[in-house]
Chains A and B, each alone.
Chain A
């Protein structure tokens, strides 16, 4: 039998019971819509995490000073004070594949500017820090190599700090006081937003690490060193180079533990992505259950339809329809039902995802892939759940079917 005719018959049969068709379809609509919206939420979260990790910089390796244990007390990472400025300079010179190095020390202080004051974190960094973090200035300029050599009293303000200290003025060129030391503001950073750990990355003051070490933090060792590899492919090589160099410089015997620790953003990214992927899978699984329920609804209605139309099946068989013709007719009817539901479900899912973004301000990402997969899956649900009723119809005995009241 011609497919076009079968389609026509299917649509006619579905139109016959509009409410029933609509309700059956609703199961699939909700199922597909839920899958698309849920996967959209999961993917949105994943994309957000990934963008935050990317905000750490490209091909960045962070070298932390190790922890030490004294009298049973463990210091945190960075507490051992094993990293020196010389280590950083040696990395720059001796490890192949390193494109930039920024030594880092951290402290915090109460900062004053005119009548305003603000407590924030001080970050002593190298000149290349902004390049490594892919962070731009919105105004003014970064401190220079000369400032670093001279331990100059200059700084660059994060967006939040700038707003707090200079609510109505342009901070560039002004002087702030940190622990009563006057420091000149050279520039203001662009906003980088909240880090993936939840802290405001713009609430900071950046200054040459030399200045921070000598004048404010009062330390001679580094908290960490940010290293950038030239390419992503060189990451492993650079990590090994750094490890070898530091072990040699710190005279660590073979077999003993490192007194430093390496982290790179790929590792972080993988951990975080794995977490969000589990979440996405979980959401999709929950949503799939509703799609399954929708499929069972289709099967139920198709069984009812086969019973109701037993006589029609008998007539068709009497005039020469083969079992296969009947099977195909009911199967196509089920698929038309489920895929129409799927199509509407896609619209619902995309709309729902938008709505969630609008109301809850959660990022959602509905990919073309998830739409296609959800739609194809809805059609497959029709085939799967439509097959049994269709087979039942095709195996009816024509005599019994004709006699059916």
Chain B
């Protein structure tokens, strides 16, 4: 089967000031359907730039990028916007929900910009379904400030899913969350991945990367290692372990 993402010698050069900054220096990578990949690296390794290119927020200076079989490396702004809308779901570190807007309306947002026009009721139905998938069906009317961090990130995941994208792209999705909530969110991702959704996640935390199936490590704009995750963590067992630890702490304390 054709890979969802085919990167061929991707390069990105920023022309800032007198020196050119080579953020990405030739990355070749295939990600197949149903994979769960952690893109890792220290800051300055070029992983954020890769993330922006994979997410069609930015264009590479060189190389070719086939997303879902379509060459997106030469598209213009509007075409990239359509690709983001149809093929990619974003989950950010800071959740990036519209404040003062209900969870349901946040989830509806990508569908509003969709070229295929959905009728109001169908829109609502799909948004509610996406919220159900992340376990927040009963919080549809809540505003972001009435939700916890974990719940906000679930709304963001529901929003990313609402247009049924080919790829879910998460940028440090647990960066603003505590260990327990992080495990919960990773559980959501694992569940979605088990249903066949392709996920690429950028992170610098090794223990979070352990939840994925494949780890790609970058350094200085190049891929330095690409290995399957050996001791994969499962969110359910991790949560149970965390719970027991907490109980033990209470008993001893």
Contact = CB atoms under 8 A, between A and B. Distances in A.
B74 interface: no
A324 B81 CA distance: 11
Nearest to B163: A320
A315 B78 CA distance: 15
A32 to B, nearest CB: 30
A330 B77 CA distance: 19
B57 A318 contact: yes
A399 B84 contact: no
B113 to A, nearest CB: 4
Question: Which of A12, A16, A398 has the most CB atoms of chain B within a 10 A radius of its CB?
Answer: A398
A323 to B, nearest CB: 6
B56 to A, nearest CB: 9
Residue from A314, A316, A320 with most neighbouring chain B CB atoms (10 Å): A320
A41 B84 CA distance: 57
Interface in B30-46: none
Contacts of A321: 81, 85, 113
Given A1-B112, A399-B58, A322 B98 contact: no
Contacts of B113: 1, 316, 319-322, 325
A5 interface: yes
A70 interface: no
B82 A322 contact: yes
Interface string B94-134: 00111011000000011011100100000000000000000
Nearest to B156: A315
B82 A398 contact: no
Looking at chain A, what size class is its interface with the partner chain?
20 to 34
Contacts of B98: 312, 315
A311 interface: yes
A71 to B, nearest CB: 90
Interface in A97-118: none
Contact of A399 (B57, B101, B110, B117): B57
B62 to A, nearest CB: 19
Contact of A319 (B58, B77, B110): B110
A324 B78 contact: yes
Contacts of A323: 77-78, 81
Contact of A320 (B52, B85, B96, B100): B85
A319 B92 contact: no
A398 B110 contact: no
Interface of A: 1-2, 5, 12, 16, 311-312, 314-325, 398-399, 402
Contact of A311 (B96, B100, B109): B96
Contacts of B96: 311, 314-315, 318, 402
Nearest to B171: A402
28 contacts: A1-B113, A5-B112, A12-B100, A16-B100, A311-B96, A312-B98, A315-B97, A316-B109, A318-B55, A319-B84, A319-B113, A320-B81, A320-B84, A320-B86, A320-B110, A320-B113, A320-B163, A321-B81, A321-B85, A321-B113, A322-B77, A322-B78, A322-B81, A323-B77, A323-B81, A324-B78, A399-B58, A402-B57
A1 B85 CA distance: 12
Q: Which of A312, A315, A323 lies at the interface centre, i.e. has the most chain B CB atoms within 10 A of its CB?
A: A315
Most buried by B among A315, A317, A319: A319
A318 B58 contact: no
Closest 6 pairs (CB-CB, A-B): A320-B85, A319-B110, A320-B113, A322-B81, A321-B113, A322-B78
Contacts of B214: none
A402 B55 CA distance: 13
Interface in B113-167: 113-114, 117, 159, 163
B90 interface: yes
Contacts of B82: 320, 322
Interface string B165-182: 000000000000000000
A322 B85 CA distance: 10
Given A1-B112, A5-B112, A311-B96, A318 B52 contact: no
Contacts of A312: 98
A324 to B, nearest CB: 7
A2 B100 contact: no
A325 B97 CA distance: 18
A351 B86 CA distance: 53
